[in-house]
Amino acid sequence: MSYCLNPACTNPQNLTHTELCQACGSKLLLRDRYRIIQALGQGGFGATFLAMNESLPGKPSCVIKQLRPNASAPHIMDMARELFKREAETLGRIGTHPQIPSLLDYFEENETFYLVQEYVSGSTLQQEIKRSGPLSELEVKKFLSEILPLLAYIHEKQVIHRDIKPANIIRRAQDNKLVLIDFGAVKYQSAQPSNASDQTALTSYAIGTPGFAPPEQMNMRPVPASDIYALGISCLYLLTGKSPKDMDYDPTTGELNWKKYIYVSDHFAGVLAKMMEISVKQRYKSALEVYRALDLEDHLESLANSINNVESRANAMPRANVGYRDGDSEGPASSRLARQAMAIRSRKQTRMDSTGLYAGLTRSRAIDSNRLNTGIASRGRNSAGRGKDTGGNEKQKIPVRLDAEGLQTYYAKGKRDFASHDLHALALQKVNLSGANFHQSNLSKINLQGANLYNVNLGRASLNHANLKNANLSKAYLSYADLESADLRGADLTEAYLLNANLRGANLCGANLAGARMSEEQLAMARTNWMTIRPNGKRGL
């Protein structure tokens, strides 16, 4: 097939060996040698096509990029031309490298710029993950062992890629090697400080992919460590299959809350954490630093052989957890991994026992049992005294005014009804109060940061100025609740019922409202940002 490059063509597909487009009459053989076979993709500034060079024996395949901005404004055109020119200059500057496509041609025809590159047959890592699922820790380390030397080579050439991501890394079919593509966003490290004469269309725009690009790059101050950050985010994608936009962020620091999505060794988690430091001063400065931190030089091949002898990928559980199975304790090759897995499970169990309901029950038993048995409440509970039921028998009542310790004690004993209670200004960070009833209670200025409030009843409760940052309010009932000026940054409000709640001035930056019942008018009264997940499941303002 011959494909027409005229952007205005209504039917660009033509029969093979056709000289002129049957729909628009445009010439189909570009520069009298390149015949376009099919479209590969469309970006913000250009379109990419698969072509063959009919002037050479065997008609070898190549990739042609055509300057084709989405907008025709003069400043957009200037930026597109500069990016196009920069990619050609970079490929020429880097020279020949087996993991970078070669620049074959660069020219202008009919007032349009074209760039011709070596064609790399294979799949991007993004396509691989979508097709086969996430990788194991070992596989990601092997990926780093191959891509880090390439990144070091690029940085030695004084080039910052600025768009490292799985979609820009191809596994070449012929030799299984990784190839880095798309050098249209590069920046030269050797560039002099800008002055009036140096200003270009690029100086007003951040280049890179949101989520993969670090803050300093989005602020137009990229450094080599910016590529390290993007590589760390790429590792998360390979381990989880999740794009950074699908992960939770800390709304205060802007950091990804990534550790809950993966299951890797403590050492590797530490390396990833330093790769993805928000502060560029705390991040690895070079690819070589990351390589040394992973200690890959001497151990990667032997580790791969030992694990491959233990189990095959066909019998593995979900790939993000390969190497941590209960059955891996047999044989010398897997004993170290088994010990690591046992240690990880032990630490998780320890954390579980030190927080949540079991820890609450343990703490409640430590409270003076004599005082509980005689009905004398802990601090703040004396005012309620005792009540009588209709039969005249005495029974203990939950006092209207509880302190934090008293509330947790009653909850640990199985009490769940705290309706119409005065609980304002209590400090209850990270407590577990799931399923409790706080209907019409006074919870103004309460601190429930990080608390588990799953499926609680907060109907008509006063929560103005409450701290509910990062709290779990999934499936909570909040109808007619007063949440004016409440801090709900990063809170989980999935499937919460918020109709008729007062959200005036409430901070919902970074909150997850997927599936929540509420109106657009309510949402408009609150503060949101691009990290807020709206009721329709989409992220953004």
Cβ-based burial of 19 (10 A; exposed 0-12, middle 13-18, buried ≥19): exposed
What string of DSSP letters covers 219-269? Answer: TT---HHHHHHHHHHHHHHHHHS--GGGS-B-TTT--B--GGG----HHHH
Is 78 noted as a catalytic residue in this protein? Answer: no
Kind and range of the H or E element at 66?
A: strand 61-67
Task: Look up residue 481 and give its two tokens.
Answer: 């609740």
- 103-109 and 178-180: which strand pairing? unpaired
Q: 414 with 433: CB under 8 angstroms? A: no
Contacts (Cβ under 8 Å, ≥6 apart) of 223: 160, 189, 216, 280
| Cα distance between residue 105 and residue 48, in whole Å | 14
**158 is written with which tokens?**
């004084």
H/E stretch holding 407 reads helix 404-412
From the list 32, 78, 105, 163, the catalytic residue is 163
User: What is the DSSP-derived secondary structure letter of residue 460?
Assistant: T
Q: List Cβ neighbours of 246 (8 Å cut-off, separation of 6 or more).
A: none
Place of tokens 């919902």: 508
- Between CA 527 and CA 505 the distance in angstroms is 6
Cα torsion 244, 249, 253, 258: sign? negative
In whole angstroms, give the CA distance from residue 150 to residue 153.
5
> Residue 438, Cβ neighbours under 10 Å: how many?
28
Query: What type of residue sits at position 197?
Result: S
Q: Which helix (H) or strand (E) holds 179?
A: strand 178-180
Write out the catalytic residue numbers: 163
